[in-house]
């Protein structure tokens, strides 16, 4: 069915029967780094890391040349550069990544309306209804990969299978720039030799628990009596793992992906103790969260403040509103109230974040008297200016001052 090289990469070597393999998982290859290399072709073939160079910066992305040195996303930049001192570090541009993401998602949508976007660089597609127009799943995947490269210069990897779980595993095995189709009748043969870390829900701690039972492969989990698995990891996880290990994943591709929360957080360049610096960070995050809520047509009812101290202990405080909102000033005022009630003022702060939860669709939901009316009108005007001149072209005066979180 496929060939496998020394790096565990699997791709189809010869055509396979893809009947029933109607779920595609498409994952862009080293997306952030690949987008940066479009304008820096001189760096192709060399290690490239996307991220900041501050003392607390982390790796946002790394190309495959850097990954060979053990560089991974979310790794402290200082560690990454010790492992790969010859890497080029690029600052990155999220707006540019969003632009290319939109272009790629539009290509997916040309083949099927059933596209479930998971993030800026990956999505599930259900192509059952696209056969008559675009061909078999293998043909559709091949055509998508060709169009993405022709129109953007980027590559992607595709897994095709009968379920979302198997399709996602297949795309990860085919990276970079590959296609792996898993026919339904070969699902178990594909899954059983894989390490248990391939199962959703198996992180380092769960992996250790399973290995203590002698379980190292997906096939081991599939063959283990349910009661033994339940005693090791609990009922809910045991049920899920046995279903996945046997290739059972009934979830369909969902076009509408519900966001559970919207928010922002920042790690300061150095520990912050000044109340003014903390409040400026919260104001910026509140405004950004509100803008995203309005852009998505959402309202939020609960404001959550997250504070991480210099010793890495983390505190969260939440406040629930009587009426949901998408007004940045209201979100900020609730975050400030949570901050003042936390007793954290004066402590050394490493990170702070503001997010909004309990999201729902709808308009402002105003009564006879709206205490946020002036702020709502002002922020709507800011949205109009930002749409024309770019985000950040208008901002609160407090954010124009130099701030330690920049």
pLDDT in tens, 314-325: 899 999 887 888
Alpha-carbon dihedral 42, 44, 46, 51, rounded to 10 degrees: 90
Structure tokens at 258: 């519900």
Q: Does 365 have pLDDT greater than 60?
A: no
More confident residue, 375 or 387: 375
Query: Where are the alpha helices (H) located in 4-93, listed in sequence order?
Result: 31-38, 64-67, 77-83
d(CA 95, CA 84): 27
Residue 6: what pLDDT?
38
As a whole-number percent, the residues of the chain with pLDDT over 70 amount to 86
Q: Does 43 have pLDDT greater than 50?
A: yes
As a whole-number percent, the residues of the chain with pLDDT over 90 amount to 56
Whats the size of the chain, residue-wise?
A: 406
Task: Read off φ and ψ for residue 393, nearest 5 degrees.
Answer: -70, -25
Residue 233: what pLDDT?
86
Rounded mean pLDDT of the chain? Answer: 86
Query: Where are the alpha helices (H) located in 13-63, listed in sequence order?
Result: 31-38
Mean pLDDT of 266-270: 84
d(CA 336, CA 319): 10
* pLDDT confidence band for 332 (50 / 70 / 90): very high
d(CA 343, CA 274): 14
Residue 93: what pLDDT?
85
- Biggest alpha carbon–alpha carbon distance for the chain: 68
Is-contact 319 303, C-beta < 8 A?
Answer: yes
- Told to judge if 116 belongs to the known catalytic residues of this protein, a careful annotator would answer no
pLDDT tens per residue, range 63-77? 999 999 999 988 889
* pLDDT confidence band for 94 (50 / 70 / 90): confident
Q: Does 303 have pLDDT greater than 90?
A: yes
- Interhelix angle 94-111/31-38, nearest 10 degrees: 100
Is-contact 401 283, C-beta < 8 A?
Answer: no
Q: Does 117 have pLDDT greater than 80?
A: yes
Q: Which of 180, 184, 209 is nearest to 197 (CA)?
A: 209
Residue 61: what pLDDT?
92
* pLDDT confidence band for 368 (50 / 70 / 90): very low
Q: Annotated binding residue at 121?
A: yes
Q: Does 115 have pLDDT greater than 60?
A: yes
The domain at 192-245 falls in which architecture?
Answer: Orthogonal Bundle (1.10)
Is-contact 277 404, C-beta < 8 A?
Answer: yes
Mean pLDDT of 122-142: 94
CATH number of 1-183: 3.30.70.270
Alpha-carbon dihedral 265, 269, 270, 275, rounded to 10 degrees: -50
d(CA 104, CA 33): 16
d(CA 285, CA 275): 15
Is-contact 49 88, C-beta < 8 A?
Answer: yes
Overall fold of domain 261-399: Dna Ligase; domain 1 (3.30.1490)
Mean pLDDT of 280-306: 89
Catalytic residue among 36, 65, 116, 122: 122
Q: Annotated binding residue at 370?
A: no
More confident residue, 278 or 384: 278
Residue 406: what pLDDT?
41
In the chain, domain spans: 1-183, 192-245, 261-399
Residue 259: what pLDDT?
66
Q: Does 364 have pLDDT greater than 70?
A: no
Mean pLDDT of 13-42: 94
């Amino acid at each position: 069915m496929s060939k496998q090289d020394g790096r565990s990469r699997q791709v189809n070597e010869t055509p396979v029967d893809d009947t029933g393999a109607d779920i595609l998982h498409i994952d862009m290859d080293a997306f952030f780094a690949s987008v940066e290399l479009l304008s820096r072709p001189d760096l192709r073939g060399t290690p490239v890391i996307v991220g900041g160079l501050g003392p607390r910066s982390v790796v946002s992305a790394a190309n495959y040349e850097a990954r060979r040195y053990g560089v991974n996303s979310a790794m402290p930049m200082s560690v990454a550069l010790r492992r790969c001192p010859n890497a080029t570090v690029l600052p990155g541009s999220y707006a540019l990544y969003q632009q290319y993401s939109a272009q790629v998602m539009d290509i997916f949508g040309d083949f099927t309306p059933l596209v479930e976007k998971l993030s800026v660089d990956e999505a599930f597609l259900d192509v059952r209804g696209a056969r008559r127009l675009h061909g078999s799943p293998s043909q559709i995947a091949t055509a998508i990969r060709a169009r993405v490269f022709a129109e953007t210069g980027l590559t992607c990897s595709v897994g095709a299978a009968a379920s979302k779980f198997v399709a996602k595993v297949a795309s990860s095995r085919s990276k970079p720039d590959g296609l792996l189709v898993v026919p339904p009748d070969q699902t178990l043969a594909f899954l059983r030799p894989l390490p248990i870390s391939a199962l959703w829900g198996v992180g380092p701690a769960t992996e250790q628990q399973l290995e203590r039972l002698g379980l190292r492969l997906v096939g081991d989990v599939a063959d283990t009596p349910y009661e033994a698995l339940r005693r090791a990891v609990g009922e809910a996880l045991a049920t899920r793992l046995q279903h996945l290990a046997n290739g059972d994943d009934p979830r369909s591709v969902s076009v509408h992906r519900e966001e559970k929360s919207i928010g922002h957080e920042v790690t300061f360049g150095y520990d912050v103790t000044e109340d003014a610096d903390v409040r400026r960070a919260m104001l910026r995050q509140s405004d950004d969260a509100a803008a995203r809520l309005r852009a998505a047509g959402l309202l939020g009812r609960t404001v959550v403040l997250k504070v991480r101290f210099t010793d890495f202990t983390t505190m969260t405080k939440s406040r629930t509103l009587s009426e949901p909102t998408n007004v940045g000033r209201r979100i900020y005022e609730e975050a400030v109230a949570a901050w003042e009630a936390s007793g954290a003022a004066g402590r050394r702060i490493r990170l702070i974040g503001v997010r909004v939860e309990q999201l729902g669709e709808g308009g402002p939901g105003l009564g006879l008297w709206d205490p946020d009316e002036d702020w709502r009108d002002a922020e709507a005007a800011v949205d109009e200016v930002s749409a024309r001149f770019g985000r950040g072209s208008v901002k609160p005066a407090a954010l124009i001052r130099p701030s330690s979180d920049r």
